[in-house]
């Protein structure tokens, strides 16, 4: 089956708006925990930024899934861990409806979150090693540290092509996450087979879902920064945008999974 790109992208935005109350309920505790972690880190170090969880929903290829570019630290770890219960709950809600949330607390960290974490780490490792190799070739050349005389254009083009292939592969393999969330058979082999023939469609879908949200989210952040508001308000805005984009990405994968399983 070929995925309907426009239909799924529209459904992702529609679902986030239609179920905004569920989104707010499920994101409230994780967001509050990350906000507190960010404030603590800011008080201790004078800086704190949000880093999207690698390999999760919005950006499985590390296409982010979040809105911000921080590195590891208190807030990065808190964001990664707090996002897992949120994502599991949101996947279950989108795929199974309200029944998928029956018996699930607003915030929990149990077996499903543990499996989610395990697969996220495995996917990150699978994607990271080849990307490091490709980046080792492409980044120095792109930054001007290596001249065109030292490195032919062909290796650079091959590295870029390799990057694209890895992004396509990570998008296809990320169908494992909705399978884990709804407790259905989960393996990279199954995710790969399910998404056969949809690599470019999933790339187009990820772009259609994330790029507009990142663009308008960036504008909102700039507006908030322009008002000169306290750090806590700036971080709250960043996190609210981030969890919304995370929900959009998870809805995208959930809708694709429902059609392909």
The pLDDT, as a whole number, for residue 126 is 81
Looking at residues 24-35, what average pLDDT do you find? 95
Cα separations (Å) of 192 from 119, 120, 189? 14, 16, 5
Q: How confident is the model at residue 41 (pLDDT cuts 50, 70, 90)?
A: confident
> What are the tokens at 38?
């960010």
The pLDDT, as a whole number, for residue 145 is 55
Select from 75, 249, 96, 77 the least CA-distant residue to 174. 249
Q: Looking at 96-110, 122-136, 181-195, 230-244, which range is the least confident one?
A: 122-136
Output phi, psi for 103, to 5 deg: 80, -5
Model confidence pLDDT, tens digit, residues 54-88: 334 444 433 344 444 344 578 888 999 999 999 99
Percent of the chain with pLDDT over 90: 57
Which residues, 6+ apart, have CB-to-CB distance to 175 below 8 Å? Answer: 191, 194, 195, 253, 256, 257, 260
Q: Looking at 24-38, 64-78, 199-213, 245-259, which range is the least confident one?
A: 64-78
The pLDDT, as a whole number, for residue 231 is 86
The answer to whether 163 touches 138, Cβ cutoff 8 Å, is yes
Alpha-carbon dihedral sign for residues 49, 143, 216, 24: negative
Looking at residues 131-148, what average pLDDT do you find? 58
What distance in Å separates the CA atoms of residue 59 and residue 67, rounded to the nearest whole number? 10
Q: Decide if pLDDT at 7 tops 80.
A: yes
With vertex at residue 177, the alpha carbon angle to CA 110 and CA 238, rounded to the nearest 5 degrees, is 80
Q: How confident is the model at residue 137 (pLDDT cuts 50, 70, 90)?
A: low
What distance in Å separates the CA atoms of residue 62 and residue 132, rounded to the nearest whole number? 12
The pLDDT, as a whole number, for residue 146 is 54
Q: How many other CB atoms are there within 10 angstroms of residue 39's CB atom?
A: 17
Q: Looking at 52-56, 103-107, 208-212, which range is the least confident one?
A: 52-56
If you write DSSP's letter for every residue of 153-206 in order, what string do you get?
HHHHHHHHHHHHHHHHHHHHHTTHHHHHHTT----HHHHHHHTTT-HHHHHHHH
The answer to whether 130 touches 62, Cβ cutoff 8 Å, is no
The pLDDT, as a whole number, for residue 87 is 96
What distance in Å separates the CA atoms of residue 97 and residue 99, rounded to the nearest whole number? 5
What distance in Å separates the CA atoms of residue 59 and residue 159, rounded to the nearest whole number? 20
Percent of the chain with pLDDT over 70: 78
Model confidence pLDDT, tens digit, residues 154-174: 666 776 777 788 888 899 999
Looking at residues 113-122, what average pLDDT do you find? 93
Q: Decide if pLDDT at 251 tops 90.
A: yes
Q: How many other CB atoms are there within 10 angstroms of residue 58's CB atom?
A: 31
What distance in Å separates the CA atoms of residue 37 and residue 194, rounded to the nearest whole number? 38
Model confidence pLDDT, tens digit, residues 213-242: 999 998 988 888 888 888 889 999 999 999
Cα separations (Å) of 251 from 93, 134, 259? 10, 30, 12
- Mean pLDDT for the chain overall: 83
The answer to whether 241 touches 163, Cβ cutoff 8 Å, is no
Q: How many other CB atoms are there within 10 angstroms of residue 180's CB atom?
A: 22
Looking at residues 118-132, what average pLDDT do you find? 81
> What are the tokens at 226?
């322009």
Looking at residues 241-250, what average pLDDT do you find? 95
């Amino acid at each position: 089956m070929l995925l309907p790109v426009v239909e799924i992208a529209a459904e992702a935005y529609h679902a986030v708006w239609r179920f905004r109350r569920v989104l707010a309920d499920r994101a409230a505790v994780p967001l509050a925990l990350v906000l507190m972690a960010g404030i603590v880190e800011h008080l201790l170090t004078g800086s704190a930024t949000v880093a999207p969880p690698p390999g999760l929903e919005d950006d499985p290829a590390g296409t982010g899934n979040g809105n911000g570019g921080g590195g590891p630290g208190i807030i990065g770890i808190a964001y990664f861990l707090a996002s897992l219960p949120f994502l599991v709950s949101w996947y279950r809600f989108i795929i199974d409806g309200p029944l998928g949330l029956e018996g699930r607390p607003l915030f929990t960290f149990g077996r499903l979150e543990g499996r989610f974490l395990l697969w996220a780490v495995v996917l990150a490792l699978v994607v990271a090693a080849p990307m490091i190799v490709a980046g080792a070739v492409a980044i120095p050349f792109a930054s001007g540290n290596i001249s065109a005389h030292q490195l032919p254009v062909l290796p650079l083009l091959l590295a870029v092509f390799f990057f694209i292939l890895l992004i396509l592969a990570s998008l296809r393999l990320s169908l494992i996450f909705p399978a884990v969330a709804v407790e259905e058979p989960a393996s990279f082999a199954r995710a790969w087979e399910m998404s056969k023939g949809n690599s470019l469609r999933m790339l187009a879908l990820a772009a259609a879902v994330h790029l507009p949200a990142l663009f308008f989210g960036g504008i909102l952040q700039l507006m908030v920064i322009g008002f000169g508001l306290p750090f806590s308000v700036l971080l709250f805005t960043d996190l609210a945008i981030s969890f919304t984009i995370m929900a959009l990405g998870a809805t995208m994968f959930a809708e694709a999974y429902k059609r392909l399983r």
